[in-house]
Structure formats: structure tokens, C-alpha cells
Amino acid sequence: MDAIYPTSNLFLSVSLIISFFILPTAAAAAPNSQLSSGQPLVDGATLISSDGIFELGFFSPGSSTNRYVGIWYHSFSAAAVLWVANRDSPLLDTLGSLSIASDGNLVILDGHKAVVWSSKVASLPSNETMAELLDTGNLVLNNSDATVWQSFDNPGDTYLPGMKVGLDLVTNVNQVFTSWRSNDDPAPGNFTLGIAPDQSTQFFIWEGDKPRWRSGRWNGQVFLGSDRFYLIKGMKLPDLSYWDLDPTNDTQCKEACMKNCSCKAYSYQAGIGCLTWGRELVDIHMFSSGGNDFYLRLAGSEFGTFSFQAVENATANFSALNLLGEGGFGPVYKGTLPGGQDIAVKRLSRNSGQGVKEFKNEVILIAKLQHRNLVRLLGYCIKRDDKMLIYEYMANRSLDVLLFDARRKLQLDWKTRYSIIEGIARGLLYLHRDSRLRIIHRDLKVSNILLDENMNPKISDFGMARIFGNDGNETNTKRVVGTYGYMSPEFAMQGLFSVKSDVYSFGVLLIEIVSGMRNSTYYNSELSNNLLGCAWKLWNENNVMELVDSSIRSSCSIKEISICINVGLLCIQDRANDRPTMSSVIMMLESDNYVHPTPRRPRFAAEIIPSENDSLIFDRKTVTRNPSITILTGR
Ligand SMILES: *[C@@H]1O[C@H](CO)[C@@H](O)[C@H](O)[C@H]1NC(C)=O
Ligand SMILES: *[C@@H]1O[C@H](CO)[C@@H](O)[C@H](O)[C@H]1NC(C)=O
Ligand SMILES: *[C@@H]1O[C@H](CO)[C@@H](O)[C@H](O)[C@H]1NC(C)=O
Ligand SMILES: *[C@@H]1O[C@H](CO)[C@@H](O)[C@H](O)[C@H]1NC(C)=O
Ligand SMILES: *[C@@H]1O[C@H](CO)[C@@H](O)[C@H](O)[C@H]1NC(C)=O
Ligand SMILES: *[C@@H]1O[C@H](CO)[C@@H](O)[C@H](O)[C@H]1NC(C)=O
Ligand SMILES: *[C@@H]1O[C@H](CO)[C@@H](O)[C@H](O)[C@H]1NC(C)=O
Ligand SMILES: *[C@@H]1O[C@H](CO)[C@@H](O)[C@H](O)[C@H]1NC(C)=O
Ligand SMILES: *[C@@H]1O[C@H](CO)[C@@H](O)[C@H](O)[C@H]1NC(C)=O
Ligand SMILES: *[C@@H]1O[C@H](CO)[C@@H](O)[C@H](O)[C@H]1NC(C)=O
Ligand SMILES: CC(=O)N[C@H]1CO[C@H](CO)[C@@H](O)[C@@H]1O
């Protein structure tokens, strides 16, 4: 998986444009692009990249007299600074210098030779360290040919091609751009642009910690989106791509932008005209005062405008060839958007039981949730009785398709299953604790776990989910919904639910993943027990391997298996209070030294023998009390 998402399409480089017009200057006087130890660069002198495009030196921003070390386009001089070293620590006079210190670091010294800024890398032999301003605009510090520090790893407010933006999953560093405080002060301002750690395919602009603008999802080419604009005040306008004199007011300018698919932003300037931007939004500054109003075309919200025809078209008119499977509430089709992006379309059957209420519930809930272990809703579509939900496409479909198929389950080795278990746990923890809303899923089961092309699990089907109060206390519901076999006792019998009801279902799921068997169908007549009863029995007999799916017995670690079953049994305990929270579940699964509590015997789950005493279950008061329930059917 690519750790860093490409951005060069979003921000077309200024340097690219410039290189079309400005031919490299002849290297007659061969300006220096390099700095070595013992040869400090004093204020007034500059380095120039060998192609003559970029320049590095001391400058004063705006009307300030403070001195900073920066990089700019040689031909534009310091009027358009691309990068600043000592953003936070200006020099107050022109006596400063840039040099390589005795510890090999690149440093800025003031007139008293005190360090005001340093590249802060580990000590290196200085006689082998060199700095160079490359043709890309990147300032690098090399130690015997290895680059130990570079300005591209420390972006300012300007993107240049070759820079990486976003979360590097290897180093866990999230690179963001930060606005200047003002035209006169390059110190980090209130706005940052980058990729949100958990939403790694979207760019955000934050003001402080408040998201102000979101790019929409990156589909590899464009950010998906609809026809809205977000006003950012006080902008230094980015490099212009198009200038139209016809529109005479803001409204007309907006309309001109709306009509043009490649228009990404506009700004109407009285006396100047209608300015529009295509792809490149380079060099965005935000000022504390002054500046221009700038309208970004918002990509958008999950509530995209997919028309019915477009969905029909994408799924080849809901052709049987595109059918992925039957979801709980209707068939799911694969589709391909004109841009090439694959989607999954759930078409709710008219008599599905998922009414308008559940439909809206799902749309609203899921649209607000973003986590790598939750499936993303891209849009929805309603046409009379037809209701459709459009999701990101999951190449490996749902877990039940693999887990309960004798041949396909071979592809689910223990390592994969374990990472699926961890992913589901993290997705649930996000729902319960970390998302801005606190959510109980209420219908967690194998068929609701979807797998992407890398077998990452994503929880889906939020039709039943409920938001609950901040305390997470049990709540009573008049309608009992959920899937038989995963329902906790307090939920099935009293209609009580809490986060612990999801924990219960997670426990069932966990044991199903380890055993490769469905709780609802498994019945061992020899042990006269159901799956959960068997799990309890075998765990107590220190014989957990007996429960393990035969196809993973050779690939699994008995220690991890024991932990999983232990955790599973803790989760399915009768009393909600005895069950762990999802955060302790994750701790137990991931920490080597966790002392695991001993589970209590799950009487509710384990003591009912399905084939004989089905009726006993159907007589439970919840069932009769809740005629709307459609899932409690016999086997
Ligand atoms: C750098 O200095 C060290 C120690 O003084 C020496 O061993 C090394 O050979 C020097 N390297 C170069 C390239 O001069
Ligand atoms: C420093 O390293 C970069 C990239 O590795 C290379 O392009 C550049 O030529 C090197 N410069 C010096 C002076 O060693
Ligand atoms: C913008 O200009 C058009 C054409 O001159 C005019 O019809 C429209 O009312 C104007 N809109 C505003 C908001 O001034
Ligand atoms: C559409 O917008 C882009 C970017 O602003 C511009 O380059 C292009 O000329 C516009 N096309 C028309 C037909 O106005
Ligand atoms: C930045 O945030 C601070 C604190 O919230 C505020 O006082 C200041 O006005 C903000 N600056 C700008 C440019 O919005
Ligand atoms: C349907 O798809 C085809 C091929 O991708 C495209 O040419 C056509 O415009 C689409 N029609 C609609 C209504 O989206
Ligand atoms: C889809 O099928 C319906 C009915 O069979 C038909 O009316 C419609 O034109 C078809 N649409 C496409 C895009 O083929
Ligand atoms: C939530 O439960 C706790 C412990 O049972 C109790 O102290 C608290 O008052 C409850 N909060 C609400 C809002 O019911
Ligand atoms: C597992 O299935 C049995 C019967 O098939 C049922 O009694 C039990 O409640 C199920 N387990 C859970 C945890 O719901
Ligand atoms: C089934 O239920 C009846 C009473 O309803 C009970 O007598 C019998 O023991 C139960 N069977 C099992 C296997 O638990
Ligand atoms: C187990 C399984 O079906 N894996 C597939 C997941 O999806 C990728 C990409 O489509 C396939 O290459 C795998 O074979």
C-alpha cells in the first residue's frame, strides 16, 4: 500500500509552469548551489540551484525588517517565498549567517554566533557534510552521499512537486502545510493543510484543530465531489489559471465556475473581473487581515448527487452479472463510475423491512463516520420506491463468503484472521468511544464485515445503529432489532442495549472466526452443546485447539488462539457489566503481558440447545412484544 498519496494532480507545480517560460540561465558565472563546512553563507549572498530556477538566501517578508533564511524563485526574487527555515526565530539584523556547524548540522547563527535555528539531526562529521539547493527547490543536507535532512520533509505553506504530503505509514510522520501568520510574519499561522490521519484519502484545511475545508475523497485522479463552494476569507490568491472579464458580479462569476467542470475555485474582484482556478492551487496564504475572498469548490460531502440514471448506468442496469450478493435488505451490485472508480450499490428491496426511517438513519450515521475499519458511504439515491446506498467497493466482499466456504476459507490463514479481528475491534472502539458521535452498531455479524483488496476489514450496515448519550448507559428500545445468534441476552430479552451489546456480538464473531463455524448453525450432539457452549467447555478443558478451524491449525499460534478465545468468552458473559469494553479488548489482544480475567460461564448462550428447544426461544417475551422483528426465524 502506498504510504503517501499523490498530490501532484491537485497542485500543479508552479515550477513546471515556469520552466516552460524561463530557460535555464547559462552557467557562465556558475552561481554556487552548495554549502560546505567552513564556508558560511552570509546575509546578502545566495545559493542558486544549478538550473538557475531556485534561490536561497536571507530576506525580510512584507514590511517587516526581520531577517529570515528562505527559498524563492530566482526570477521572482524574495517576493514569492516558498520555504522558510527559521519561521519562528527571526534575526533582528543582517549579521546572521547560514553554515554547517561542527556537529554537521545546518544552522543559522546570529551576529554573536548563537544558534537561532538548526536542522537538528544527529551529530555527523562536519568535514563530510554538505548542503545543496537542488533543481527541485529542495534544500538537502548530505553526509557522505546520504541525505540526512531536507527541506521537503519540513514543508512550509507551499507545495512543490516531489514533496510528500500526508501520513507516512512507515515513519508515522504526518506532513502538513501551515499558513503564515501574516504577510509580514512567516511564523506558523492558524491554518494547516494535510491529510487527516484516519482519513488518509482526504485533504483537510484546519483552523487550529477545527476542520475548515475537506477535499473529498481522493479516487486516484480527482477528489470526488458535488457543486458547492467554501468561502475562505483573507486569502493571498493562488497562482491564477484563468481570468474572465465577462461576469460583472460575484453571482455570475460563481455560475461561470459551476458550468466549467475543471474550475476548482473562483474569486470575483471588483474592477478586475472573475478569476478562476483549474487544477493548481499553489502558494495559498491566509492573512490575518486584508486579502481576498476566495471560493473553493467543495468536493464534497458524502451526499453526492448520483442520479438514478448514473447508478443504473454504472451497474449496467442492475445486471445479474454485476450482482455481488444479497444483503440483509436487498441485492448489492457492483458498479463502475465513468471515472473508473468501483462502487457497491445496495438496492433496498421495496419489502425489505428497511423503511425510510432506517434508510435515513444509515445515511446520516455513516456519513458522519470515518475510520479505516468502517465502510464508507459515498452517496445515496432515492427514486420513488427505489432506495439505494452507494458504498466504496470492497474487492474481497464479506467475511462470511470466505469464512464459511470450505474452499475459500483456505485463503484466510491465521495471520489474516487475527488482523481481521483486530481491525473489527478498532472499528468498534471508534464507534463506541472515538467518533464524535457515540454509536452502538447493534447488528454486528460476519456478513456485515466487508474486506477490501488488502483484506482489511470494514464494518458495514448501519441500518440498526443508534447514537447514544455520552455516558454510554443502557438504553431501552421498544423495537428489538438485530440478528439472532449475535444478540446479547439483555437485548433479546429486555430490549436493553448498551455498548456492551456490541461487545457481546464481537465475542460471538471472534469465536466464529477462530472456529470457522457459524454460531447459529453449529450444534455438537456429542458434546450436546452449541458453538459458544463448546468454546466454553473446551477452553476450560485446556483443549482450545479442538475448537480451531482445521484449515488454520497448522498456521496458528496456540498462544494467540487462547487469547482470542479467552477474550471471546469474556465478551459473551451474561451480565453486561462483566464484559470488557472494546478498549480493554484491544489491550488484551495486543499486549503480551496482559493478565486476562477468567470468564464466567455464559449460561444464556451456551445452555440452550438449538434443535430441541427452539420454541423456547421463540416464546420469549421480546419476540411477541415486538412483532416488527423480522430476523428471528427458525433454522
Ligand atoms: C573527516 O574527519 C575525520 C576525523 O577528523 C577523518 O577521519 C576523515 O577522514 C575526514 N574525512 C574527510 C572526507 O576529510
Ligand atoms: C546530495 O544528495 C542528493 C540526493 O541524494 C543528490 O541529488 C545531490 O547531488 C547530493 N549533493 C551533494 C553535494 O552531495
Ligand atoms: C449580476 O449581474 C447580472 C447581469 O448584469 C444581473 O442580472 C444580476 O442581478 C446581478 N446579480 C447581483 C447579485 O448583483
Ligand atoms: C474552464 O476553467 C479552466 C480553469 O479555470 C480554464 O482554463 C478553461 O479555459 C475554462 N473553460 C471554459 C470553456 O471557460
Ligand atoms: C489565530 O488564532 C488566534 C487564537 O484563536 C486568534 O487570536 C487570531 O486572531 C487568529 N488569527 C487569524 C489570522 O485568524
Ligand atoms: C453511461 O455510460 C456510458 C459509458 O460509460 C456513457 O457514455 C454514458 O454517457 C453514460 N450515461 C449516463 C446517463 O450516465
Ligand atoms: C434499464 O432497463 C429498463 C427496463 O428494463 C429500461 O427502461 C432502461 O432504459 C434501461 N436503462 C439502461 C441504461 O439500459
Ligand atoms: C449512568 O450509569 C451510572 C452508573 O450506573 C449512573 O451513576 C449514572 O447516573 C447514569 N447516568 C444516567 C444519565 O443515567
Ligand atoms: C448461538 O446460537 C445459539 C443457538 O444456536 C443461541 O442460543 C445463542 O444465543 C447464540 N449465541 C449468541 C451469543 O447469541
Ligand atoms: C427443552 O425444554 C424442555 C422444557 O421446555 C426441557 O424439559 C428439556 O430438558 C429441554 N431440553 C434440553 C436439551 O435442554
Ligand atoms: C482471499 C481473496 O479473495 N483475496 C483477494 C482479495 O482481493 C484482491 C484484489 O482483488 C485479490 O488479488 C485477492 O486474491
Query: What residues contact 308, with CB distance under 8 A and at least 6 apart?
Result: 381, 383, 386, 388
Beta bridge partners of 294: 232
| φ/ψ of residue 624, rounded to 5 | -70, -30
Catalytic residue among 157, 443, 461, 502: 443
Higher pLDDT, 83 or 125: 83
Mutation to probe ligand 4, out of 263, 274, 277 (largest number of atoms < 8 A from CB): 263
Average pLDDT over residues 192-200: 60
Q: What SS3 class is residue 172?
A: coil
Mutation to probe ligand 11, out of 399, 455, 552 (largest number of atoms < 8 A from CB): 455
The beta strand positions in 290-373, using DSSP E, are 292-298, 304-305, 323-327, 330-336, 342-348
Average pLDDT over residues 366-395: 74
Higher pLDDT, 25 or 549: 549
Model confidence, pTM: 0.48
Length of the chain counted residue by residue = 635
Joined grid coordinates for residue 595: 493478565
Q: Is the pLDDT of residue 350 over 50?
A: yes
> In the chain, what is the straight-line distance between the N-terminal and C-terminal CA atoms, in Å?
42
What would the pLDDT profile of 104-117 be if each residue is shown by its tens digit?
899 999 999 999 99
Average pLDDT over residues 214-220: 40
pLDDT bracket for residue 187 (50, 70, 90): very high
Atom of ligand 4 nearest to the CA of 276: 5
What would the pLDDT profile of 294-339 be if each residue is shown by its tens digit?
454 433 332 344 766 777 878 888 888 888 777 656 788 888 876 6
Query: What residues contact 284, with CB distance under 8 A and at least 6 apart?
Result: 157, 179, 193, 235, 236, 238
CA 379 – ligand 4 centroid, Å: 28
307 lines ligand 6 (CB under 6 A): no
Q: Is the pLDDT of residue 423 over 90?
A: yes
pLDDT attached to residue 321:
83
550: how many CB neighbours lie within 10 A of its CB?
A: 10
d(CA 259, CA 632): 52
pLDDT bracket for residue 435 (50, 70, 90): low
Q: Is the pLDDT of residue 366 over 80?
A: no
Q: Is the pLDDT of residue 199 over 60?
A: no
Average pLDDT over residues 10-26: 25
Q: What SS3 class is residue 29?
A: coil
- CA-angle at 58, arms to 159 and 125, nearest 5°: 85
By CB neighbour count within 10 A (0-12 exposed, 13-18 middle, 19+ buried), where does 512 fall? buried
The residue whose CA is least distant from atom 2 of ligand 6 is: 313
Average pLDDT over residues 364-389: 71
Mean pLDDT of the chain: 71
Average pLDDT over residues 443-468: 80
d(CA 280, CA 131): 30
Q: Is 443 noted as a catalytic residue in this protein?
A: yes
**Ligand approaching nearest to the C-alpha of 126:** 1
What would the pLDDT profile of 40-93 be if each residue is shown by its tens digit?
999 999 999 998 888 999 999 988 999 999 998 777 666 678 899 999 999 999
Domains parsed from the chain with CATH numbers: 19-159 (2.90.10.10), 227-303 (3.50.4), 399-629 (1.10.510.10)
pLDDT attached to residue 258:
74
Q: Is the pLDDT of residue 2 over 50?
A: no
Q: Is the pLDDT of residue 277 over 80?
A: no
The residue whose CA is least distant from atom 4 of ligand 8 is: 473
Q: Of 178-182, 443-447, 485-489, 542-546, which has the strongest mean pLDDT?
A: 542-546
d(CA 520, CA 26): 78
DSSP conformation class of 430: I
Atom of ligand 4 nearest to the CA of 260: 1
Q: Which of 503, 470, 502, 505 is nearest to 485 (CA)?
A: 505
Q: Is the pLDDT of residue 38 over 90?
A: no
pLDDT bracket for residue 266 (50, 70, 90): confident
What would the pLDDT profile of 400-421 be if each residue is shown by its tens digit?
989 999 999 998 999 999 999 9
What would the pLDDT profile of 548-595 be if each residue is shown by its tens digit?
999 999 888 888 999 999 999 999 998 888 999 998 999 899 887 777
613 lines ligand 10 (CB under 6 A): yes
187 lines ligand 5 (CB under 6 A): no
30: how many CB neighbours lie within 10 A of its CB?
A: 9
Lowest mean pLDDT among 232-236, 563-567, 579-583, 598-602: 232-236
pLDDT attached to residue 318:
82
Average pLDDT over residues 447-472: 74
What would the pLDDT profile of 474-528 be if each residue is shown by its tens digit?
554 444 455 556 667 676 666 667 788 889 999 999 999 999 988 665 555 555 5
248 lines ligand 8 (CB under 6 A): no
Q: Is the pLDDT of residue 259 over 70?
A: yes
pLDDT attached to residue 52:
83
pLDDT attached to residue 623:
30
Q: Of 128-132, 359-363, 483-487, which has the strongest mean pLDDT?
A: 128-132
| φ/ψ of residue 596, rounded to 5 | -85, 130
